A and B are shown apart, each in its own frame.
Chain A
Amino acid sequence: MPPSFATCPFCGLLCDDLVVTPGPAGLLAAGGACERARVEFSALGAASPSPRVRGRAAGLDEALDEAARLLGAARRPAIGGLDVDVGAMRAILPLAQRLGAVIDHSGSFAKYRNLHVVQESGLITTTFAEVRNRADVVVLVGDGWTKRFPRFVERMLVPAPVFAGDGGRRFVLLNPADRSALPADAECLELAVPMAELPVLAGTLAALAAGRPVSLDRAVTALGGSASDGLAERLARCVDWLREARYGVLVWSAADLEFPHAELAVQALARMLRVLNEKTRFAGLPLAGVDGDLTANAVQTWRAGLPLPASYANGTVDFDPHRHALPGRLARGECDLLLWVSNLGTKPVPVVDGVPTIVLGRADRTFDAAPDVYLPVATPGVDAPGHLLRGDKVITLFLKPVRSGSLPTAAAMIEALAARLEPATC
């Protein structure tokens, strides 16, 4: 009998070739598992948590009662985290509506760097299998993706592009990328300028790709280079490669773009893609899907018609990345309760003085400051079935549990919570 493969929920690649078995210390992930997957499965395997009320172990009913009491008393609750699967999100949204909550994903600030560009200019994009089979020129921005998407190179960039003709695949590394992540024999052009200069670099490439008269000398100076370091020649060569590509792909991960107004740099690159597509094919691949960011946004978007961050206050739904962003709402002291739901990851829960916090979290999570209520929930793909959107946005995969656990799902927990609330009055 062939091994039953597991699908890894811990990054946007959703690799479905893992073999996960019970080991002496937790779950043992093998098969295609990367280091990150091994660590995550192992950590989850070891934990056997119980609900907690203000740090003290409590029965499920007691913890649910307390959580329901806090929720019932809240007038301005916020729902955060959302590092969750589709099922959890489907349960969270009716609750958010019922509570009039403001709701935001923990990574939406990074996510918004791409959404911004879609909403304010549009985008040409592609998906993993197109990259794998077609891409003859791959431009990689930044290097965070090598950590966040550990098997991206192995799975998408190492296999030969069968539809690309005989030329093989060439790489351009924008910003200080990790050359060693790529195959050693890969033809590779490095434009190693600091990440903060990406807006200038992106604008320069977009202008050059459009055939506009940009002074390479001035560009090099603006990028902090010098006449002798060959940057001007590499810029020119890069543009040649972009224009010669039969099917080029530009890869970035919005979470890497940790500088203010990074969405503008993405927009410059989006413009470059538009220009290149007048003559050849060149598509973007905004790598995402970590921590359920795409999933949470997609479910919110299809149910409400508007993405995150959103407010369900006053019986309406409103999208405003500025006013409804959770960090801002918390910092301004506007929320009187924080419900944090995260069944996939273990990002820290914000602690705000005087704001009661309920956490529906992974079994192995720990806290610097104990929340008022902690309700451990099953992790989809480990203890429970679930669905997640993959990092290229189009594919949703089923997460089959690798063990039969006793933890309730986040969705079930939310429904239990909702059942304890007073009937909605509106």
Chain B
Amino acid sequence: MSGLRLSLRARPPARVDGSALLPEKLQGQTLDAIRRIALPGWNEFHEVGELFEVSGEATDRLQIDQLDGSFDRLGALATAGTLVLRGQAGDLVGEGLRGASIEIEGAAGDYLGCGMRRGRIEVRGNAGHFAGSGRAGELQGMSGGTLLVRGDVGDRAADRMRRGLLLVEGDAGDYLASRMLAGTVVLLGRAAGNAGYLMRRGTVVLDQRPAQMLPTFNANGRQDLLAIQLLLRSLGGEGPRFSRLAARAGGFERWLGDLAASGQGELLVSF
């Protein structure tokens, strides 16, 4: 496969900020120059060459293999190119993403795609807590782009989400879409407790009935809404399970809430 390839060979003693490893920044550099890039750890800087086997050619595609969860912020703020991560990616992968594509052939840590604005992240395995949310202390979560998790997501996925698309094939932990401001979540698996807590606007499509429905969501009856049909049809390319959801007829059971917030969000539950 073409592109640059880094393969982890030494585990750093503490978490390392990997945000310098962007295809757009490395593109065109020599392998030696890339080996000399220093990544900030805790009170020390690690040269890429010390930590990784470096091979291939620096194009707009970068693959990092053998990840063990000790690198945070991989792909943060990326605007272009393709980043392929294999193994256990760390926390804050794709933080503030602005346009690139990140493929994780493994699992992701917490805060996956937090604050992302554009671009696409796809995870083959599971993602941790706060996928598609925002950085702690800030008002907004993910505000654009597509975040697709083939496995499960942890708690608080899409917390404070403002725009964009979070697609999950597996299950979601507690407080899915908590404080959601707008945007769209489609969950094929099951949502654990308190889905939609304090959500203000936005759409959460649940292909399975959640464990419980908050009393601050009111039933809106069965609704077959054109906007939702259109939305689901647009997901046809994301795999057969999404196509099947799009093809099902008869609309959804629609719940409106959270009335504890402004109450204009919708939970759409397959029946």
The residues of A with any CB-CB pair to B shorter than 8 Å are: 75-76, 100, 102, 115-116, 119-121, 199-200, 202-204, 206-207, 210, 212-215, 218-219, 221-223, 260-261, 264, 267-268, 271-272, 311, 313-314, 319-323, 332, 334-336
Contacts and interface: CB of A to CB of B under 8 A. Distances in A.
Nearest to A118: B137
B174 A214 contact: no
Contact of A264 (B13, B197, B215): B197
Interface of B: 13-15, 40, 42-45, 72, 91, 110-111, 130, 135-139, 155-156, 160, 174-175, 178-179, 194, 197-198, 212, 214-216, 218, 258-261, 263
A114 to B, nearest CB: 12
Contacts of A119: 136-138
A203 B160 contact: no
B226 to A, nearest CB: 26
Given A75-B44, A100-B43, A267 B215 contact: no
A199 B218 contact: no
Given A199-B197, A219-B215, A268-B198, A314 B43 contact: yes
A261 B195 CA distance: 13
B38 to A, nearest CB: 11
B194 A199 contact: yes
Nearest to B73: A323
A260 B139 contact: no
A173 B42 CA distance: 47
Most chain A beta-carbon neighbours within 10 Å: one of B138, B175, B179, B198: B198
Most chain A beta-carbon neighbours within 10 Å: one of B15, B194, B258, B261: B261
Name the 10 nearest CB pairs between A and B, nearest first: A203-B260, A207-B259, A119-B137, A334-B14, A206-B260, A212-B259, A100-B43, A219-B215, A218-B215, A222-B215
Contacts of A120: 137-139, 160, 179
B195 to A, nearest CB: 12
Contacts of A268: 197-198, 260
B14 A203 contact: no
A286 B226 CA distance: 46
Contact of A204 (B110, B155, B260): B260
Contacts of A322: 91, 110-111, 130, 136
B137 A319 contact: yes
Given A271-B198, A322-B111, A264 B178 contact: yes
B202 to A, nearest CB: 16
A261 B175 contact: yes
Contacts of A267: 179, 198
Given A76-B42, A120-B138, A261-B174, A271 B14 contact: no
A260 B174 contact: yes
Contacts of B13: 75-76, 334, 336
A329 to B, nearest CB: 8
B136 A203 contact: no
12 contacts: A75-B13, A203-B197, A207-B216, A207-B258, A210-B259, A221-B215, A260-B155, A264-B198, A319-B137, A320-B135, A322-B130, A334-B42
